[in-house]
Amino acid sequence: MTATIAVVGNPNAGKTSLFNALTGARARIGNYPGVTVERRAARLTLPDGTPIDLIDLPGAYSLTPRSPDEAVTRDTILGRQPGETQPAAMIVVLDATNLGNHLRFLLELKRLGLPMLVALNMVDLAARDGVTIDTAALADYLDMPVIETVAVRRRGLQSLLAEAATLLATATPHAAAPPEDVRTLAREARTLASAVTRTTGTARRTTTRIDRIALHPLFGPLILAAILFAMFQAVFSWAEAPMGWIETAIAALQAQAGAALPDGALRSLLVDGVLAGVGSVIVFLPQILILFAFILALEQSGYMVRAAFIMDRLMARVGLNGRAFIPLLSSFACAIPGIMATRTIDDPKDRLTTLLIAPLMTCSARLPVYAVIIAAFIPATKVGWFGLQGLVMFALYAFGVLGALAAAFVLRRTVTKGPAPSFLIEMPKYQWPALRDFALGLWQRAAAFLQRAGTVIMAVTVALWFLSSYPAPPAGATQPAIDYSIAGRLGTALEPVFAPIGFNREIAIALVPGMAAREVAVSALGTVYALQATADDPGTLTERLRNAWPLPTALAFLAWYVFAPQCLSTLAVARRETNGWRWPAFMFAYLFAMAYAAAGITYWLSKALL
């Protein structure tokens, strides 16, 4: 059997960066504690030819877990994970700039008696801070190899692997020592750290200086608001040109396919189904990339945790702590990693609340929905310095956040009642995002988006095209063809449910496949309206919507999507994370009620006012 080596250490020490560098894996990294929440393994060959399985683990402070992710780490190290044996050895990753704290966990691990070696990581940042470490003395004291590494620059990896090979070949496990009191270990760690560390006066100066402004009680929140605001303005203004190119390309493809194929079902499937549907989603790639670029920069620079800290006071008002802010901010990308990130929250009720409100954060799949409607109904004028479209987008995100806070407020007083949790989190050091990781992260998101467009969205769109085209209308039919189709009838059946909130039959049709993925609502509208269009109408989806929907309907549709309970994958992940259908069912129900109410209120109010 292949031996396993576990990569262990405190949160944010650079374990996953090291794991990626050693195995070529592409696991998520970020400059804040709690990025990795699951174990992950990859095969690797040591210099002497031995194959091993390297296991990346969630960061932990000790073998006494405080949250579900730390429990995974303990169970893996102790060999308690079902179907797994204890690792043959451990690579303990230490942050060279934070030895005093990180050595404590190492000293605790050492008592287990497993062969160990130390990756003294982030020595580049230590040097920046004027910190040097006497590696030989540290190795001597600990009685194990200590190798300096810079995981993000792939420095020290060869020596690390060579030592790992020697360790596996020669070391025999010691007898385990009984666990030691935490305080004794902490004292030993601090003494050891100061004995091997030389500091010139500049330590952590940069970070402290930036934090004096970034965490300032007045400037802090202003800076955070400005960053988020700039993000939404950028999503609109920077993406405009590339979106135009993609639109032109798709229109050209449609024209070519239309000219090349004879009039009939195949042409309609390709032009009105696949190209109109999938094309209407792909157009949003530039916007999604800009959004992700901002989120990645926030995650990797170290600002994310500051944002959580600034938000803590507001979060406390609704009964959550700042810790919850990180999963919630990740949910701007997608609720699924957001929900998984709640594993780092120690208090179960706090965790459940965060998990239940995560879908209210506007995920990137909702961006196309918002953008289509905004482009169709909100004029591209300027309000002062800002574009009106960007402002509306910002407002929609803000409504999502306010909805989440309101939901948390109510939940914490009813179903997830419990004591107010305290907020304790380590502030990471600021640093520029590593270009390679940044580019890779962006590429992964783009690939995932295009893959969804090519699989789920394409499949659902094609299915919808069939349902909207068949049965074909009888000869001499007077009504539009879609009236006779299965989807048309389904839409007509659902219409009464949605008519009170201003939704028409086409929206009712689009909402059903939109459960698969939220963007599908856009591709579905693209297909449904393309099928309804007459042959000599070359309009885009935007133009078609503008003609077909009154403004109150469009606004109600936006309001619906702020709260929409859709996306089956989110419900499935909620089921997995809460071990049952009870909470996902609750989540669906309360989100549906909120969406319905919000859309209804928006519809009737705007109808009365406009």
Ligand X SMILES: Nc1nc2c(ncn2[C@@H]2O[C@H](COP(=O)(O)OP(=O)(O)OP(=O)(O)O)[C@@H](O)[C@H]2O)c(=O)[nH]1
| Binding region for ligand X (CB under 6 A) | 11-17, 29-31, 33-36, 58-59, 121-122, 124-125, 150-152, 300, 431, 434, 437
Instruction: Please say which residue, 14 or 319, places its beta carbon nearer to ligand X.
Output: 14
Instruction: Please say which residue, 300 or 602, places its beta carbon nearer to ligand X.
Output: 300
To ligand X, the closest distance from the beta carbon of 23 in angstroms equals: 13
Q: Are 121 and 19 in contact (CB under 8 A)?
A: no
Q: 434 is in the binding site of which of ligand X, Mg ion, none (Cβ under 5 to 8 A by kind)?
A: ligand X
To ligand X, the closest distance from the beta carbon of 68 in angstroms equals: 14
To ligand X, the closest distance from the beta carbon of 160 in angstroms equals: 12
CA distance 579 to 266: 45
Instruction: Please say which residue, 36 or 254, places its beta carbon nearer to Mg ion.
Output: 36
The pairs formed by 507-515 with CB atoms below 8 angstroms and a separation of 24 or more are 507/553, 507/557, 509/464, 509/468, 511/566, 513/460, 513/461, 513/463, 513/464, 514/564, 514/566, 515/566, 515/567, 515/568
Taking CB under 5 A as the criterion, which residues in 214-273 touch Mg ion?
none
The pairs formed by 169-178 with CB atoms below 8 angstroms and a separation of 24 or more are 169/48, 169/50, 171/89, 171/115, 172/115, 173/113, 173/114, 173/115, 174/113, 175/113, 176/111, 176/112, 176/113, 177/110, 177/111, 177/113, 178/111
Of the candidates 185, 98, 90, 92, the one whose C-alpha atom is nearest the C-alpha of residue 133 is 98
Separation in Å, CA 450 to CA 77, 236, 271, 285:
38, 20, 19, 8
Q: 300 is in the binding site of which of ligand X, Mg ion, none (Cβ under 5 to 8 A by kind)?
A: ligand X
To ligand X, the closest distance from the beta carbon of 90 in angstroms equals: 14
CA distance 58 to 55: 10
CA distance 513 to 196: 61
Q: 95 is in the binding site of which of ligand X, Mg ion, none (Cβ under 5 to 8 A by kind)?
A: none
Q: Are 108 and 186 in contact (CB under 8 A)?
A: no
Taking CB under 5 A as the criterion, which residues in 480-519 touch Mg ion?
none
Instruction: Please say which residue, 308 or 411, places its beta carbon nearer to ligand X.
Output: 308
Q: Which of these ranges, 29-37, 146-154, 455-463, 525-533, lies near Mg ion under the rule CB under 5 A?
A: 29-37
Question: Other CB atoms closer than 10 Å to residue 250's CB: what's the count?
Answer: 18
Separation in Å, CA 133 to CA 36, 37, 88:
27, 30, 28
Q: 578 is in the binding site of which of Mg ion, ligand X, none (Cβ under 5 to 8 A by kind)?
A: none
To ligand X, the closest distance from the beta carbon of 18 in angstroms equals: 7
Instruction: Please say which residue, 95 or 506, places its beta carbon nearer to ligand X.
Output: 95
Separation in Å, CA 204 to CA 101, 143, 209, 399, 507:
15, 29, 9, 38, 55
Instruction: Please say which residue, 280 or 331, places its beta carbon nearer to ligand X.
Output: 331
> For residue 575, which phi and psi values (nearest 5 degrees)?
-65, -45
> In 240-347, which ranges are continuous DSSP H helix?
240-260, 265-268, 276-282, 285-301, 303-317, 325-330, 335-341
| Total residues in contact with Mg ion, by rule CB under 5 A | 4
Q: Which of these ranges, 9-17, 344-352, 479-487, 555-563, lies near Mg ion under the rule CB under 5 A?
A: 9-17
> In 152-239, which ranges are continuous DSSP H helix?
157-170, 182-196, 205-214, 219-237
Q: 121 is in the binding site of which of ligand X, Mg ion, none (Cβ under 5 to 8 A by kind)?
A: ligand X
Q: 566 is in the binding site of which of ligand X, Mg ion, none (Cβ under 5 to 8 A by kind)?
A: none
- Using CB under 5 A, pick the residue from 10, 20, 31, 36 that binds Mg ion: 36
Instruction: Please say which residue, 253 or 434, places its beta carbon nearer to ligand X.
Output: 434
Q: 72 is in the binding site of which of Mg ion, ligand X, none (Cβ under 5 to 8 A by kind)?
A: none
Instruction: Please say which residue, 300 or 342, places its beta carbon nearer to ligand X.
Output: 300
Q: 31 is in the binding site of which of Mg ion, ligand X, none (Cβ under 5 to 8 A by kind)?
A: ligand X
Question: Other CB atoms closer than 10 Å to residue 533's CB: what's the count?
Answer: 17
Q: 151 is in the binding site of which of ligand X, Mg ion, none (Cβ under 5 to 8 A by kind)?
A: ligand X
Give the DSSP H/E element, type plus range, for residue 409. Answer: helix 388-413
Nearest residue to ligand X, using CB?
Answer: 59
To Mg ion, the closest distance from the beta carbon of 28 in angstroms equals: 7
Question: Other CB atoms closer than 10 Å to residue 185's CB: what's the count?
Answer: 20
Instruction: Please say which residue, 232 or 423, places its beta carbon nearer to ligand X.
Output: 423
Instruction: Please say which residue, 62 or 431, places its beta carbon nearer to ligand X.
Output: 431
To Mg ion, the closest distance from the beta carbon of 54 in angstroms equals: 13
Q: Which of these ranges, 32-40, 44-52, 109-117, 577-585, lies near Mg ion under the rule CB under 5 A?
A: 32-40
Phi-psi region of 502 (alpha: psi -120 to 50; beta: other; left: phi over 0): left
Instruction: Please say which residue, 151 or 192, places its beta carbon nearer to ligand X.
Output: 151
16 binds Mg ion (CB under 5 A): yes
300 binds Mg ion (CB under 5 A): no
Q: 160 is in the binding site of which of Mg ion, ligand X, none (Cβ under 5 to 8 A by kind)?
A: none
Instruction: Please say which residue, 28 or 452, places its beta carbon nearer to ligand X.
Output: 28
353 binds Mg ion (CB under 5 A): no
Contact residues for Mg ion (CB under 5 A)? 15-16, 35-36
